Structure 1
Amino acid sequence: MLSFNSKKQLSQFLAEDIGKGDITSALLPKIKISARIISREDAIVAGTVYAKEIFKLNGCNVKILKKDGSRIKPNQTIMIIRGYAEKILTCERTALNLLTRMSGIATQTNELVEKIPKKTKLYATRKTAPGLRYFDKEAVKIGGGKKHRLRLDEMVMIKDNHIAVENSLLVIIKKAKRKYKKFEVEVENTSDAVLAAKEGAAIIMLDNFSPTQIMKTIKVLKNQKLRNKVLLEASGGIHSKNISKYGKTGVDIISIGSITNSVKGIDMNLEI
């Protein structure tokens, strides 16, 4: 498995924003200053180590006061940055963009985790913006969630379009079994869930099932002595207002794409 080079990615983020140079900050006198990043709202902070690295790439010194996973209140200082004014202000927007996004993801994830039983795990999906997946998934973890797959090469996940092309759930499952020990199957009804369980799926995603449908499916699996052989994942149409109902169904996993693809960033500012 290829390792992710976060420093290289952060350098690319910064280069994207700078272009040929920060022509406005270049007008400033060459003086050293001290700046701080503060929160304007309650949140779970995430991404401090990456924001720090962005400033360090431009020769600044950073002291983190609120570590990742900390709860922050309005007007609390998250980190202090020292260095030349031009260098700090050149990094300001890139660092804040990542920090506010990751903190938003961590905060939203934590709010959802608090609404479900501890034995039920909240998972992120691959619904992330290109280039941001690693950071988005890290933020989910900081907020108390789980990452699920980072890439397509990590685990076989048989979804509706795979089944549509193969034209047989059973056939594509058997193909997967011949090459891989672990695989997940997305199903849209109880009978397919039973089939997947009988064929050895490690995880069965109950796609767009209502809480009632999930409980009925679990009952059928229990009656056929299949429930303890699989992990059940609820996905589709789940949000903050109904997640507690899904948590009570007895599923092992709840996956929600909105925690990464519809995130609301936390309001933060850099002040001198």
Structure 2
Amino acid sequence: MLSFNSRKILSQFLDEDIGKGDITSSLLSKKRITARIISRENAIVAGIKYAKQIFEIKGCKVKILKKDGSNVKPNQTIMTITGNAGKILTCERTALNLLTRMSGIATQTNNLVKKIPNKKTRLYATRKTAPGLRIFDKEAVEIGGGEKHRLRLDEMVMIKDNHIAVSDSLESLIKKTKKRYQKFEVEVENTQDAVLAAKEGATIIMLDNFTPTQIKKTITTLKSNKLRDRVLLEASGGITSKNIANYGKTGVDIISVGSITNSVKGIDMSLEV
């Protein structure tokens, strides 16, 4: 897990929403209340520790009833918050925004993981995340049973189509990469380039927009050249809940799906006083 100052980031999230001050909540008395956050639908909870921290920044007391990774049903209480009424309401939207997004990602990830018949095949997130939220998005994927892949560009070389387009050739770019890095991933669009990448020592080969039939053909070709065991194979592009089972049956090691973070549907949750 990438080390980061969550309190600082969450404070910035609050400041973005509050501006110069919550003028509506300032009209309230300093009454002390207890509120609760409930889920209005079936979900996997993710982000609960960050929601807790948001309320604590404003001096509220929080009791967690459902930890990250827990399954919740409609109307179940996830956490309770006790403190000044105005401060709780000031934090409400920021906490819910992050909690519902992360829970949506975790839930969607888990639903896809369950559809993969081969349990050796892992579901990976991509870098298709909301700017400023990548650490939270990727953590939610992990809570849902997926893998994070790269958090940042400095973690591993990934040679994609546009890198190849501005280079002399795929082969020359791979050879240049091998001189500096032991592990690297290469995106390919056909079986011929997959074989080339495997021969040249790629660690992971991304089969971009391959159909399940094309993937099986590529795996057969790699096996016939005694190259299959040298690399991890990743299927990516056009993979949805409707066809992920078919991709899982091909024998790939990794399935990456951008929609779990870039098209997430937040879980319906609310704060009740």
Name the TM tier (shorter chain).
Answer: over 0.9
Secondary structure class of the residue paired with 1:206: strand
Matched, 1:187 2:182: no
The whole-number CA distance in structure 2 between the counterparts of 1:51 and 1:203 is 36
Query: How many aligned positions are there?
Result: 272
The whole-number CA distance in structure 2 between the counterparts of 1:23 and 1:37 is 23
Secondary structure class of the residue paired with 1:161: helix
Matches within 5 A, 1:83-162: 83-116=83-116, 117-162=118-163
Task: Give a deviation string over 1:119-138, Cα, whole Å, max 9, x none.
Answer: 00000000001000000000
The whole-number CA distance in structure 1 between the counterparts of 2:23 and 2:253 is 53
TM-score normalised by the chain length of structure 1? 0.99
Q: What is aligned with 1:5?
A: 5
Q: What is aligned with 2:56?
A: 56
The gaps in structure 1 that reach 5 residues or longer are none
CA-CA distance at 1:9 after TM superposition: 1.1
Letter paired with 1:230:
V
Q: What is aligned with 2:240?
A: 239
The gaps in structure 2 that reach 5 residues or longer are none
The whole-number CA distance in structure 2 between the counterparts of 1:237 and 1:2 is 29
CA-CA distance at 1:105 after TM superposition: 0.3
Matched, 1:209 2:175: no
Secondary structure class of the residue paired with 1:166: coil
Letter paired with 1:19:
G
The whole-number CA distance in structure 2 between the counterparts of 1:221 and 1:4 is 41
Matched, 1:220 2:218: no
Secondary structure class of the residue paired with 1:270: strand
TM-score normalised by the chain length of structure 2? 0.99
Matched, 1:42 2:39: no
Task: Give a deviation string over 1:2-45, Cα, whole Å, max 9, x none.
Answer: 73222211111111001000000000000110000000000001
Q: What is aligned with 2:249?
A: 248
Letter paired with 1:263:
V
Letter paired with 1:205:
M
Q: What is aligned with 2:177?
A: 176
Q: Please provide the CA RMSD for this pair.
A: 0.9
Task: Give a deviation string over 1:181-237, Cα, whole Å, max 9, x none.
Answer: 100000000000000000110000000000000000000000000000000000000
The whole-number CA distance in structure 2 between the counterparts of 1:179 and 1:3 is 26
Q: What is aligned with 1:66?
A: 66
Q: What is aligned with 2:28?
A: 28
